[in-house]
Amino acid sequence: MAIFSICVSNRVRLKRLRILALLVPAFLLLVLAVPHALAPATWLNSDIDSESDLDTHVTLLLLWWAPFGSTQKLPGSCTSFGVRGCVLTLDREEYGHADAVIMHHRDLVNEPDALPKPPRPEGQKWIWMNFESPSHSPWLEGLDGVFNLTMSYRLGSDIFLPYGYLQRRRHSNSVNPLNSQHGNGKHHQHAIDNHLLVNRNGNGNGDARNGVHSSVARHGNDFKSLVDHHSININHPVDEENVNDGNLSSNNGYPVPWRNIRSVRRRRTLVAWVISNWSEEQERVQFYWRLRRYIRVDIYGRRALSLINDSVFQTISGYKFYLAFENSIHMDYITEKLWRNALESGAVPVVLGPPRENYERFLPPDAFIHVHDFKSPRALAAYLLYLDRNPAQYRRYLAWRHDYTVHVTSFWAEHYCAACRAVQASRKQRKTIKHLGFWFQS
């Protein structure tokens, strides 16, 4: 009987060991898979085969200049953006070992003689980074054939990082029309690979113009394609100073930012504008002088009213409308004036910038009011006053918030991590941007 018990016990123990042997590999696979499943939908496009392009190599990224002399501390890692294996440095002594070097355009223009002298380390990529408009980006023609990757707000950049974008709410049941590139499930499988727009199927000339048309095709013809481009498995760090409209109170069914006055009727003032660089030659200033004849506009800035507690959010959240007027008008140049100042603060943006069709690549048609929809500033003022008297009509411009939230791009940590991820994903690619100035100014 004892022998029988021992045999049974051994069999049970052996069976348990076999089960354990099966469970351990499965657990390890799960652990390895989770970081990829949770990675953010940023920077890389779905046609990049990230699994074949990435390895365990630690990527060293050198910032040749801190943008505008920024003293902001470099992020210790990029894991909060879902990017692993990145080391960032400002130490130029590491130039010979760097996988890539980021050159900020404005600093390059101010200090052109500080560029590294040839020869360039084999395989090293130079990244051109610029978030100013072509009107404020001199010396572009002198950079043809210098860089390997572009990073900017322009659709068609190798690394496309707009000033902001919409993300779909978790509870949203709305269905977006997806183009064939996004409809095969691969987009979800490689959610982390959404922001890098490297042209891998070009003619080998490395012409940045090739990327423009291909990126437009990949993103479809409306903002919903771009929302899907950004909104899967987002994992952005919280910026407590720039809280978006994730915490909501209800206003007749339409969410509004939590710090806003709960009823649109209770907003005490109508139109606001924050401007730091005033120039009478600018189209936006000339438009303002005509508009103010018919409607009051409160101006905040260096030579005007002071912000409440030095906070754009606290100030603008008391207004119904915000003048999101760009300092110059160029394709895709839609800045924090719209994303942070207006949308994140809960105001309806009145925009002056590229054509309405360009804005609709990033936003629903009823999320903003375009000045060119009206024959004159007087007609625009009359419409704003009409919306002020008719809350139900005004709330139409808030309805999109039920399905979407606003993400404002984090300067500069998000950009550095985007660049690092791009270098990882395009390690085997060799190209040079031959016509940088022509592309960026087109």
Task: Please list the active-site residues.
Answer: 132
Q: Which positions ≥6 away from 118 have C-beta within 8 Å?
A: none
Neighbour count for residue 13 (Cβ, 10 Å): 10
Angle (CA) 138 142 146, round 5°: 120
Neighbour count for residue 98 (Cβ, 10 Å): 24
SS3 state of residue 18? helix
Bond from prior residue into 412 cis (ω within 30 degrees of 0): yes
SS3 state of residue 323? strand
Q: Dump the DSSP string for 73-137.
A: PPPS-SGGGT--SEEEE--GGGGGG-SEEEEEHHHHHH-GGGSPPSSPPTT-EEEEEE-S-GGG-
- Residue 160, both tokens: 């496309």
Bond from prior residue into 35 cis (ω within 30 degrees of 0): no
What separation in angstroms does the CA of 14 have from each of 2, 18, 23, 26, 28?
18, 6, 14, 19, 22
Give the span between the Cα atoms of 317 and 109, in whole angstroms.
Answer: 38
- Residue 174, both tokens: 């709305």
Q: What's the residue count for the chain?
A: 442
Q: Which positions ≥6 away from 166 have C-beta within 8 Å?
A: 223, 226, 227, 230, 231, 362, 363, 400, 404, 405, 406, 407
Q: What are phi and psi of 133, to 5 degrees?
A: -75, 165
Beta bridge partners of 125: 100
Give the span between the Cα atoms of 392 and 252, in whole angstroms.
Answer: 9
Helix/strand/coil (H, E, C) string of 333-361? CCCHHHHHHHHCCCCEEEEECCCHHHHCC
What separation in angstroms does the CA of 363 have from each of 323, 330, 342, 418, 432?
16, 17, 13, 23, 33
Angle (CA) 42 365 341, round 5°: 65
